[in-house]
Amino acid sequence: MPGLAVVTGASSGIGEAFAERLAADRWDLVVVARSGERLSELAARLNQAHGVTVRAVPADLSRSEEVERVGGEIGAMPVDMLVNNAALAYYMPFADLPAAQAAELVDLNVLAPVLLTQAVLPGMLARSRGSIINIASLLAFSGAVQATFLPRRAVYAATKSFLVTFSQALAAEVRDRGIQVQVVCPGVVRSEFHSRQGMDMSAVPRMEPGQVVEASLADLADGVLVSVPGLGDTEPVARLEAVSLELVSVARTVELPARYRRDAQ
């Protein structure tokens, strides 16, 4: 049964599409974004179209005091779903990335989802139900990939890798307590995300935000943890998990392998 959902970055793109879909499914909403005017317009439109309660909470989640304020508000509510979608990129070579922008990337893309999740999780655990959806990116897996079509992304990609690991580890902690965690890793999506950085993506094939939401919610219903909307076969994700297990198992090794020992050469 629908309940109360919180969606960050809800004024455009994937966040707006989540808000629209959840409202159509009869969820009441708390929508969060920097633009108060656009949030108010969204809340009014969804209320009129679907008769649900939509509360607009303007906030800049890259600022710690704003995250604390929003966390306090939603932590006191019976939140059944949290969609951590707010993010930015600042694509550029790491050597050119100003320190303030690097900090903003980490604060918005990493710290805000962690703290907002901490805010709503106690209530979810007390009620033994709830869903947490973290919006990452396929760039989370791109660290070792060298390709001309990929942007300069050292910090941005690392923040999205964090969300994948955070979601996987958290899911293991709470799955037996009625809480479902999902991380969504879309490719290029039609939204304002790139145009805000002055990037012309008009010639690039892009998925629609609503398609990302449709895939995410279908995977959520099927219990899929790592949702990749553009992936027709889930085998690559399974292989990645198997390799991860193999690498982590090395932690039990107490002797250096022969390739490191001079006496073995």
Domains and their CATH numbers in the chain: 4-233 (3.40.50.720)
Sign of the dihedral through C-alpha 145, 150, 154, 156: negative
Q: Is 90 a catalytic residue?
A: no
> What rounded mean pLDDT belongs to the chain?
93
90, 91, 156, 260: the catalytic one is 156
Pick the more confident residue, 206 or 238: 238
90, 91, 160, 260: the catalytic one is 160
Q: How far apart are alpha carbons 105 and 163 in whole angstroms?
A: 13
Burial class, 90, CB count within 10 angstroms (exposed 0-12 / middle 13-18 / buried 19+): middle
Q: What is the mean pLDDT of residues 13-27?
A: 98
Q: How far apart are alpha carbons 139 and 137 in whole angstroms?
A: 5
**pLDDT (0 to 100) of residue 82:** 99
pLDDT per residue as tens digits for the range 49-63: 999 999 999 999 999
* Percent of the chain surpassing pLDDT 90: 81
The H or E element spanning position 18 is helix 13-24
Contact 21, 213 (CB under 8 A): yes
**pLDDT (0 to 100) of residue 189:** 82
DSSP output for 198-226: T---TTS--B-HHHHHHHHHHHHHTT-SE
- The vertex-160 CA angle with 156 and 164, nearest 5°, equals 165
Pick the more confident residue, 135 or 204: 135
